[in-house]
């Protein structure tokens, strides 16, 4: 049966896309959900679903291959220790693998909360809870993040003062970072604290003063900490 996609609203007045609904409850990607819909494997109230359909979650009945969809009852929250060389996107970037290749299939519907670039490592949060992601990443919530950073050369005292006390212009505004030596006798290795989340902000801040970040590892994100968690592993956390 063809026709206009079914559209409805949930009790909060927001329309729920069918592919998003399927992705969450089946633990698949939205693309895979769209493929199922296009193959006519999904129905809404016993009508074959169309691409782009929207549903009223507490009223419409969704079936897959003729069977009522078993609904998940809670959101999931994990933290991953991302190794260097992995990207936080769904698709590979060149030969670089994605963090989702580290996860079992049933976890690949999760979204990364606070990204790290390919050459960085450390704490990544994963969840299917959009409100949690917003609380952790929106600038208004001021979530503190801590990194271990190594530079290609010793940081000059004047530059340390500029970064920590006055801030450095990096093209999209002034960047100000908290700096503490990781070792008293080493001016190349620093603990960096920040509550913003601009793209590659730490790398750009040091680059503006003539330094190259050779290592960047996130250890803390809000109240979450890696501790002794090994690279490439994930653990379940609470929200």
Residue boundaries of the structural domains of the chain: 16-68, 77-138+227-236, 144-221
pLDDT exceeds cutoff 70 at 4: no
At residue 73 the predicted structure's pLDDT band, cuts being 50, 70 and 90, is low
Nearest to 144 by CA among 33, 49, 224: 224
For the stretch 193-216, pLDDT in tens is 999 878 899 999 999 999 999 999
166: DSSP letter: I
What mean pLDDT do residues 118-137 have?
91
Instruction: Name the E strands within the chain.
Output: 16-17, 42-44, 47-48, 54-55, 62-64, 67-68, 77-82, 111-113, 121-127, 145-151, 168-169, 174-175, 178-183, 186-194, 213-221, 224-225, 234-236
* The two three-digit tokens of residue 49, written as one number: 């679903």
State residue 237 phi and psi, 5-degree precision. -130, 170
Name the helix (H) or strand (E) containing 35: helix 30-38
Q: Is 117 a catalytic residue?
A: yes
Provide the pLDDT for residue 75.
84
At residue 26 the predicted structure's pLDDT band, cuts being 50, 70 and 90, is confident
Nearest to 170 by CA among 192, 146, 196, 202: 202
Q: Spot the catalytic one: 46, 58, 60, 117.
A: 117
Q: 3-class DSSP state for residue 141? A: helix
Provide the pLDDT for residue 43.
94
**Pairing of β 178-183 and β 186-194:** antiparallel
Provide the pLDDT for residue 150.
98
pLDDT exceeds cutoff 60 at 1: no
Provide the pLDDT for residue 160.
97
B/e letters for 98-110, b = 16+ CB within 10 Å, e = fewer, are bbbebbeeebbbb
Q: CATH 3.40.640.10: does it fit domain 77-138+227-236?
A: no
Terminus-to-terminus CA distance in the chain, angstroms?
Answer: 42
Provide the pLDDT for residue 149.
98
Q: For the whole model, what pTM was predicted? A: 0.72
Candidate from 73-77, 173-177, 181-185 with smallest mean pLDDT: 73-77
Provide the pLDDT for residue 14.
61
pLDDT exceeds cutoff 50 at 3: no
Fold classification of 16-68 is 3.10.290
For the stretch 35-57, pLDDT in tens is 999 999 999 999 999 999 999 88
pLDDT exceeds cutoff 70 at 5: no
At residue 93 the predicted structure's pLDDT band, cuts being 50, 70 and 90, is confident
Q: Do domains 77-138+227-236 and 144-221 have the same CATH topology?
A: yes
**Residue 118 CB contacts under 8 Å (≥ 6 apart), including other chains:** 84, 85, 86, 87, 93, 96
Q: Are 217 and 122 in contact (CB under 8 A)?
A: yes
CATH of domain 144-221: 3.30.70.1560
């Amino acid at each position: 049966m063809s026709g206009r996609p079914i559209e409805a609203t949930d009790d909060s007045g927001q329309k729920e896309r069918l592919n998003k609904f399927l992705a969450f409850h089946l633990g698949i990607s939205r693309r895979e959900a769209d493929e199922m819909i296009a193959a006519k494997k999904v129905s809404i109230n016993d009508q074959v679903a169309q691409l782009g359909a929207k549903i009223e979650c507490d009223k419409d009945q969704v079936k897959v291959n003729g069977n009522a969809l078993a609904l998940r009852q809670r959101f999931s929250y994990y933290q991953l220790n991302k190794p260097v060389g992995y990207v936080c996107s769904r698709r590979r970037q060149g030969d670089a693998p994605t963090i989702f290749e580290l996860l079992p299939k049933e976890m690949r519907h999760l979204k990364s909360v606070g990204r790290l670039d390919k050459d960085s490592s450390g704490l990544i949060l994963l969840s299917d809870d959009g409100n949690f992601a917003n609380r952790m990443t929106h600038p208004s919530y001021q979530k503190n993040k801590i990194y271990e950073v190594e530079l290609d050369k010793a940081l000059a005292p004047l530059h340390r003062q500029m970064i920590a006390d006055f801030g450095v212009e990096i093209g999209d505004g002034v960047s100000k970072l908290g700096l503490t030596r990781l070792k008293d006798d080493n001016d190349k290795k620093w603990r960096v604290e920040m509550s913003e989340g601009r793209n590659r902000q730490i790398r750009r801040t040091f680059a503006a003063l003539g330094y190259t970040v050779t290592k960047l590892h996130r250890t803390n994100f809000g109240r979450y900490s890696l501790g002794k968690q090994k690279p490439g592993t994930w653990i379940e956390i609470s929200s």
